């Protein structure tokens, strides 16, 4: 019996540079929350807010199909280039995935199956407010419009084999220079997440 954590129990403390996207609210409420913090005074801010709300809608739809996909999206945060403006750099999503194994290596192997790896994902133990976790990054070679790009998924894993799932916090970037910064921010975010 898989019993992922309840989104309402999850919170993040000590956020620096992250803006929360509350997946327990309706997209309209999330939109209002974004605009309350970042009034859409210009086209870019308005369009960015719309884009983030679209992402919330899509994450919620994916959760709705959870039984078929084995994925439950629990929470999301957006990393801002400048906390004073709505300037997204990356979005971190907290998910519950059906997974019997408690071995992080096996989880990572499952996620990278069939992908061309740029280098071996390093596994680093990380102490968090929700207990021990594993921090890693997966760099894959992607062929985009005929060209070769290296993308990176920054990933934190909380295995919960006794409940039949693993919780992941992941953010995806398409630029390795940016990934350095996102990786550091992910570590800080993961450390403060409670309720898993």
Partner 1 sequence: MILDRAARAHQSEDAGPASTYAAAVERSPVLLPATGAGLSIARGRSTSLSVEDAAVVLRQDGREQVLARPGAVTRVAHDAPDRPGLDPDRSSRLLLRSGDRAVAVVHLDHFTAPAVLLSGDRSLQRSVSGADALAAALDLAVEQADRTDREVLGQAGREVQVRGRLRRTGSRWSYAVLLLGAVLTFLTLPLLGEGPVLGVLAAATGLAVTAWPALAWWRRRRRFLELDEEGPDTDEGGPGATLLSPAPPYDDLFPHTRLLVGPRAVVLHHRGRQTRLAGADLGGVDRLVHDGSSATFLDARRRALLAIDPAFWCPDPTRPERLADACRRAGIGVGRDPVVSSGLVAEPTADPGVIDDDPRFLMPPGERGNGTAVLSTLVAFVVALSVVVGLVGVLGTLPPVTGEPLAVVALVGSGLVLVAALVLLSLVLGVRRRTNRWARPVTAPPTPSRRSS
Range in contact with partner 1 (rule: CB under 8 A) among 1-9, 13-21, 94-102, 120-128: 94-102
Per CB under 8 A, 150 contacts partner 1: yes
CA angle 15, 18, 20 (to 5 degrees): 95
The neighbour count for residue 184, using CB atoms within 10 Å, is 12
Write each residue from 164 to 183 as x if it is in contact with partner 1 (CB under 8 A), else as -, in one continuous string.
Answer: ----x-xxxxxxxxxxxx--
Question: Please, what is the minimum distance in Å from the beta carbon of residue 143 to partner 1?
Answer: 8
Q: Quick one: 37 or 127, whose CB is closer to partner 1?
A: 37
Q: DSSP readout, 34-103?
A: HHHHS---SHHHHHHHHHHHHHHHHHHHHHHTHHHH-EEEEEEEEEESSTTS--EEEEEEEEEEE-----
Rounded CA-CA distance 135/175 in Å is: 19
Site for partner 1 in 95-124 (CB under 8 A): 95, 97-99, 107, 110-115, 118
Closer residue to partner 1 (CB): 113 or 125: 113
* Shortest distance, position 128 Cβ to partner 1, whole Å: 20
Strand bridging mode 71-80 / 116-117: unpaired
Q: Which residues of the shown chain bind partner 1 in the complex (CB under 8 A)?
A: 48, 51-52, 54-55, 58-59, 62, 69-71, 78, 88-93, 95, 97-99, 107, 110-115, 118, 138-139, 144-151, 153, 168, 170-181
């Amino acid at each position: 019996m898989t019993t992922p954590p309840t989104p309402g129990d999850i919170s993040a403390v000590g956020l620096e540079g992250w803006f929360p996207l509350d997946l327990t609210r309706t997209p309209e409420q999330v939109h209002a929350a974004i605009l309350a913090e970042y009034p859409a005074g210009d086209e870019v801010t308005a369009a960015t807010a719309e884009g983030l709300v679209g992402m919330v809608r899509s994450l919620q739809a994916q959760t709705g199909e959870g039984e078929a996909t084995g994925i439950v999206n629990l929470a999301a945060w957006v990393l801002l280039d400048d906390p004073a403006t709505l300037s997204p750099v990356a979005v971190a999503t907290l998910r519950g995935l059906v997974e019997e194994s408690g071995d992080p290596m096996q989880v990572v192997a499952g996620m990278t199956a069939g992908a061309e790896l740029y280098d071996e994902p390093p596994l680093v133990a990380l102490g968090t407010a929700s207990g021990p976790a594993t921090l890693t990054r997966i760099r894959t070679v992607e062929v985009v419009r005929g060209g070769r790009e290296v993308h990176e998924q920054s990933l934190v894993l909380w295995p919960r084999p006794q409940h039949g799932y693993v919780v992941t916090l992941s953010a995806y970037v398409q630029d390795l220079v940016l990934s350095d910064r996102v990786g550091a921010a992910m570590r800080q975010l993961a450390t403060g997440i409670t309720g898993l």
